[in-house]
Structure 1
Amino acid sequence: MRRRGFRIPAFRAFAAGQPTRSARHALRCALWAALALLACGHAYAQRTPALPLHCADLAGVVIPPAVIGLPTGGALVQTATMIPATATGNQNGDYCRITGVIRPQTAGTPDIRFELNLPSRWNGRALQFGGGGYNGVVVTGTGPVPFSPDRAPLARGYATFGDDSGHIGDSSEASFGLLDEAVTNFGYAHLKKAHDTALALILRGYGRAPQYMYFAGGSTGGREGYTVIQRYPDDYDGVIANAPALNFSGVRLLGVEVGQDEYRVPGGFVPPHLLERVYARVLAACDALDGVADGLVSDVEACRAKEPEIIGSLRCSLQDPVNTQNCLTPPQLATLEKLRDGLRLPYPLAWNVETYHGYNVFQGTRFTSGLGLAHSPQRLPQLEFIANGYLFAQGDAYVKYFVTHDPTFDSSNFDVEHPGRYQQRLVTLSTTIGAMNPDIARYLSHGGKLITLQGLADEVISPNQTIAYYNSLIARYGEPRVDSFMRLYMVPGYQHGNGVFIPSVDLLGALDDWVARGVAPETLVMTDLTEASNGRTRPLCRYPGFARYVGKGNVNRASSFVCATSSLTSP
């Protein structure tokens, strides 16, 4: 097993202009050790102890700005407490819980609050957790990786850490968008600042750097995972980035347009019972295309071929324009088709991105969830996620606070395609908050690995946007090279945290096997956590594969399925 250390061959490789992966790691550790020595005044000659060194003594430690790779006012450890394995509710064993703040440069900008956990039985690895929504809450790092059925990483010996991205509020609170440094922190800077602060403290606690540094997150945390690959490729050995909000500006602007179709266009609102009718009609047409009627639309491409037929069966008859209770009128169809078609801009955002790929509206996505479309036929004075719809409410907040800096601005009148004086602001924001840069050459040369999982029925982050970015990597680097570092898994029936199939699979174990032992993940087995079908298993197939029933055997067991691909062309 590879170990990091201060080996002369590493420096020889750099001097010769041939920085191998191990050389990069060795030099990185040497530099960090030197910085940490200066910052903490501690000798690191001894080997890793059984427990973090002097946990309580870490309280009050100051990390100078020079140790952090982006401009800050330095960091301060506020508390350092040893949590015993016997503590009530603790399932993570003995660990040192460290909390602190990273100071901003601009007056009035909130601190970045962070938490770091140093287990007494350290496995030599560190894991940074991503956040969700607009963040605003400290990610403690004491829980499991999303979709993982096993113990939390901390209980498995990982040093774990997370932060709040530099502001306080729940995941829907966007008012921090009025503060430029807070926006930069949310977009990318908090990731580097928290990473460097945590690494300095890990060095102080254990006397050596982690052998492997990982990142794991979903949604906003998924975007953050791709962000660290694109911006800080030498800092990470492996990343789990699920349902990533890669095109953050795109999804917000699409939400604005969908809201306009629902609330500005007469008759554009689609009530919940009609959304359920769309879903039921899709299941009737597409559920059995994978060989079994199990409530899952697995062969999305074959279902897409049936879309004209599905829409035709839902469209209101011209001969009976009055009876519209169980059919879709032209304005209602236009709303759903906007969701399906996505965003098309006449100007480019960062990295020449002009589109946000639409959703699988007619391929099994259920928009009646709490994160779906509006559930109230009137626009309320204050937008609410359930009443007005998640996409519209989030888009409205984005326009108010991030784009126009006017909390009273009415986004229903915002011209997304012709934003006038706000166009440059949109471009700037898409650079700051977004992970659409296809240039990941440094992460590839560094040997980093990436696993992404997402639901094909995701109603918040379009699975087709994730697939499109994946395909752009293949177009840029070729399929063999992308296969050498990335795995993309798409889950039928899974939405954005809910759905008719909620997968449970040990992605962290798969990532660690790939990074540390060179065992690349292929088909995995996932267990369904949905209450109605809890315990059934399916193969988790690499995209573009999906699970097809073999025609015999228990339909609730993965062994009765094989990974297949549709004969139809991807979107």
Structure 2
Amino acid sequence: MTARRPRRSGGTLRVLVGIVSLFALSLQIAGAAPSAADVDTDAGGARCEEMTELSVPDTEITAGELVPAGDFVDAEGTVHRDLPEFCRVAARVAPSLNFEVWMPTATWNERFLGVGNGGFAGNIRYDSMAPALAKGYATASTDTGHSKSDSANSWISNPAQLEMWGRTSIHLMTLRAKQILTAYHEKAPKFSYFEGGSTGGRQAMGQAEFFPDDYDGIVSHSPGMDYSHVMMAVLWTAQRLADRPKGALDSDDRKLLNDAVLAACGGRDGVASDPFLNDPRDCHYNVKRLECRPGTSTGCLTAEQVRTAEHVYTAVTNQGSGEHLYPGFAYGSEAAWNFAAERQELVSYPQALFGRAVFDDPEWDWRSFDWDEDVALVEEKLSPKIDPTRADLSKFDERGGKLIMTQGWSDPFQSGSLPIEYYTRVLLERDGSTVRSALRDVQEFYRLFMIPGGGHVTGGMGPNSFDALSAVRAWVEQGIAPKQMVATKYQDDRQENRVVMTRPLCPYPQIAGYDGAGPTTEASSFRRENDWGDFAKDVAREKQRMQARERSN
């Protein structure tokens, strides 16, 4: 759609919106933001169209249009049903960052929600903006500074575009979107939130670490925060299969392995009927039990396939120093190991990212990656630019921010235990505290929820539908820290279908324990339990890794 022509001169509008913006921002700083009753429900068309005349630093506003209530077709052709009337503003931050802001006219809840991206991004996430708008949020999304139509990923070779994708795009989008929102509604948002998964989870952690003042509450799902090492994990298995293709595990092989793991470990939490593990850390299955005996070729795995499975479970390791680089995949996640099949589709990511950003060679051969010297190159030239993995979140804590992180144990793209490693490092790096007291302090602003059977951001065999945004909002606005979140498993993961089961998700290091009496399909039959045994092991392992890193430095 094209924007209508503005009705007021640009100079007059710039003066007016500048005064309005400063006034609204001063109200926010003073804690005197107007109430919802003061919202101008007639903000409407004229002011929306005139947003193209708004003066925003280093930003060109390319469209401002009032979208009527009802169905809306986005720029990619997707239809979003039953949206409220909203003002759509499209803008571009120099040199290449495109973003959109959608602002409800009469239904604004006085809150702003930034939404994250996936993979290499390159597109605005209308599919995340539409449900946010329907709930009353003003919302924004960005393409992170490049277009997904660049199939060669040449943008990675551009330092400015790599920096935008790796660190600054969400911050720039957020600052500009809030300026536009404040000018349009003549007041700043009372609260600002961010929610994203995968790359969006990495973006979320980048906000908490590098730009702690941008958001009051952050939700990070399946955070690809250690992105450089996630790419190494892809190569870890891909290289093995390239050398030993007979070790590939097709869907039937993975199901055989998954069934064996569930049969051996599934009843340890009291719910043997679950098609997932409640806590994979308690499973220690020996894959060699599935190895084919002489004369047997069905219902078993070959010796090469057994070694592939063992390789996937094993942590990615620097072959020179022995340093732990990235955790292995959890027991119970085997059915999701598409990366262990013969076709190596995921290698396009490290091939492009490492080839262009580390080796300056778009034709770089991923099979040549060296597990000592090349690891050092990646950690020198790329990791600092794209990996928000520092464990010091004190600035976000001090400004009153709240953070919820979620992670599925059966994630098919990244290890389920990485967030636990990061969380325990956050505890261990807090000064002057015992681990238990550090845990109490950290849980005042940051809580991690592990999802039994959960997939990547969503999906998986376990209950995977829950509302973390409402939980973080209650934490920020009412001081109600989330003691649990109830997750639902719908048939075929479609909310219009019947409920298969519900289950409480508990903040680490708690887990959900079955009470032994009620229906195993209902959350009310489970209680929160402190898992101090596994917690102590997690902390001890992270201490060892931190000490090893200090010695190597």
TM range (shorter): 0.7 to 0.9
Equivalent of 1:542 in 490, 496, 507: 507
Q: Output the amino acid matched with 1:486.
A: Y
Are residue 298 (structure 1) and residue 278 (structure 2) matched?
A: yes
**Among residues 460, 475, 482, which one is paired with 2:442 in the alignment?**
482
Is residue 405 of structure 1 aligned with residue 360 of structure 2?
A: yes
2:289 aligned with 1:313: yes
| Conservation of the 8 A alpha-carbon contact between 1:499 and 1:530 | no
**Which one-letter code corresponds to 1:427 in the other structure?**
E
CA contact (8 A) 1:92 1:142 kept: no
Give, in whole Å, the separation in 1 of the partners of 2:445 and 2:54. Answer: 37
Compared CA separation, residues 141 and 443, structure 1 to 2 (3 A): farther
Q: Which residue of 2 aligns with 1:340?
A: 313
SS of residue matched to 2:193: strand
Q: Secondary structure at the match of 1:114?
A: strand
Matches within 5 A, 1:7-156: 40-44=17-21, 48-52=39-43, 54-61=46-53, 63-65=55-57, 74-87=58-71, 89-104=80-95, 111-120=96-105, 121-140=107-126, 143=129, 152-156=131-135
Q: How many Å apart are 1:567 and its aligned residue?
A: 6.8
Does the 8 Å CA contact 1:187/1:434 hold for their aligned counterparts?
yes
- Are the aligned partners of 2:14 and 2:53 in contact in 1 as well (CA < 8 Å)? no
Contact 2:71 2:83 in 1 (8 A): no
Question: How far, CA to CA, are the matches of 1:325 and 1:247 in structure 2?
Answer: 39
Matched, 1:227 2:206: yes
Unaligned runs of 5+ in 2: 1-12, 25-37, 73-79, 431-437, 539-553
Partners of 1:515 and 1:467 in 2: CA distance: 23
Matches of 2:267 and 2:42 in 1, distance apart? 55
2:341 pairs with 340, 357, 375, which one? 375
Work out whether residues 455 and 493 of structure 1, in 8 Å CA contact, stay in contact via their aligned partners in 2: yes
Instruction: Structure 1: state its 5+ residue gaps.
Output: 1-35, 66-73, 105-110, 145-151, 377-386
Aligned-partner Cα distance in 2 for 1:170–1:294: 42
Alignment deviations for residues 74-101 of structure 1 (CA, whole Å, 9 cap, x no partner): 1111111112223464433121111121
Measure, in 2, the Cα distance between the counterparts of 1:232 and 1:187. 13
Match of 2:162 in 1: 183
Paired with 1:425 and 1:359, the residues of 2 have a C-alpha distance of: 22
Paired amino acid for 1:50: T
> Closer, same or farther in 2 for the Cα pair 1:502/1:132, shift >3 Å?
farther
Q: Equivalent residue of 2:260, what SS?
A: helix
CA pair 500-179 structure 1, distance change in 2 beyond 3 A: same
User: Residue 443 of structure 1: CA displacement?
Assistant: 0.6
Q: 1:295 to 1:172 in 2, by over 3 A?
A: farther
* Partner SS for 1:250: helix
Match status 1:327 vs 2:311: no
Find 1:359's aligned residue among 315, 319, 329. 329
The one-letter amino acid of 2:464's match is P
The aligned counterpart of 2:434 is none
- The residue type equivalent to 2:288 in the other structure is G
Match of 1:500 in 2: 461
**3-state SS of paired residue (1:543):** coil
Q: Aligned to 1:234, what secondary structure does the other structure show?
A: coil
CA distance in 2, matches of 1:193, 1:245: 20
Deviation, 1:263, is 0.8
What SS does structure 1 have at the residue aligned with 2:488?
strand
Amino acid at match of 2:142: D
| SS of alignment partner, residue 230 of structure 2 | helix
SS in 1 for 2:20: coil
Q: Is the CA contact (8 Å cut-off) linking 1:346 and 1:354 kept in structure 2?
A: no
Check the 8 A contact 1:187/1:433 in 2, yes or no: yes
User: C-alpha deviations, 1:280-322, integer Å up to 9, x for none?
Assistant: 101111222221212121032322xx323xx2312344xx2x6
1:365–1:268: structure 2 CA closer, same or farther, 3 Å change rule?
A: closer
From the superposition, tell whether residues 276 and 527 of structure 1 become closer, same or farther in structure 2 (CA, over 3 Å). same
Q: Give, in whole Å, the separation in 2 of the partners of 1:85 and 1:535.
A: 34
Cα offset for 1:177? 1.3
C-alpha change, 1:230 and 1:415, in structure 2 (3 Å) is same
Q: Deviations over 1:366-415 (max 9, x none)?
A: 235xxx22433xxxxxxxxxx3243x342233233332232222111221
- CA distance in 1 between counterparts of 2:463 and 2:245 reads 37
Provide the secondary structure at the position in 1 that maps to 2:429. helix
What is the alpha-carbon distance in structure 1 between the residues aligned to residue 128 and residue 81 of structure 2? 9
Structure 1 residues 137 and 461: CA distance shift in structure 2, 3 A: same
Distance 1:96 1:128, change over 3 A: same
- In 2, distance between residues paired with 1:201 and 1:81? 13
Distance 1:482 1:448 in 2: 12
Secondary structure (helix, strand or coil) at the match of 1:547 reads strand
**RMSD, aligned CA:** 2.7
Shift of 1:40: 4.7
Q: Which amino acid is the alignment partner of residue 126 of structure 2?
A: T
Greater RCO (Cα-Cα under 8 Å, separation 6 or more)? 1
**Counterparts of 1:323 and 1:165 in 2: how far apart (Å)?**
53
1:114 and 1:164 in contact (8 A); partners too: yes
Q: CA deviation at 1:197?
A: 0.9
- Deviation by residue 1:149-201 (Cα, 9 ceiling, x = unmatched): xxx33222211001011111179874421211111010011111111110110
State the one-letter code of the partner of 1:119.
P
1:63–1:197 Cα contact (<8 Å) kept: no
Residue identity opposite 2:479 in structure 1:
G
Q: State the alpha-carbon separation in 2 of the partners of residues 55 and 173 from structure 1.
A: 40
Q: Is the 8 A contact 1:134 1:173 kept in 2?
A: no
- With over 3 angstroms needed to count, the CA separation of the structure-2 counterparts of 1:197 and 1:495, relative to structure 1, is same
1:454 corresponds to 2:407 = yes
Query: What is the CA distance between 1:327 and its match in structure 2?
Result: 3.3
Asked whether the equivalents of residues 450 and 506 of structure 2 are also in contact (C-alpha less than 8 Å), the reply is yes
Q: Which amino acid aligns with 1:558?
A: A
- Relative to structure 1, is the Cα distance of residues 163 and 266 closer, same or farther in structure 2, using a 3 angstrom cutoff? closer
TM-score (norm 1): 0.79
Structure 1 residue 62 displacement after superposition: 5.1
SS in 1 for 2:49: helix
Shift in alpha-carbon separation, 1:174–1:339, aligned structure 2, 3 A: farther
Aligned amino acid, residue 335 of structure 2: R
Instruction: Measure, in 2, the Cα distance between the counterparts of 1:291 and 1:272.
Output: 28
Label 1:340 to 1:506 Cα distance change in 2 as closer, same or farther (>3 A).
same
Shift of residue 258, structure 1, vs aligned partner: 1.1
How many Å apart are 1:242 and its aligned residue? 0.6
The answer to whether the 8 Å contact 2:49/2:65 transfers is: no
Per-residue CA deviation, residues 442-498 of structure 1 (Å, 9 max, x unaligned), is 111111000111111112121211110011111123111111001211111111132
SS at 1:60's partner residue? Answer: helix
Number of equivalent positions: 487
Is the CA contact (8 Å cut-off) linking 2:228 and 2:378 kept in structure 1? Answer: no
Residue 428 of structure 1 corresponds to: 381
**Structure with more of its chain in helix, by fraction:** 2
Match in the other structure for 2:545: none
Describe the SS at the equivalent of 1:154.
helix
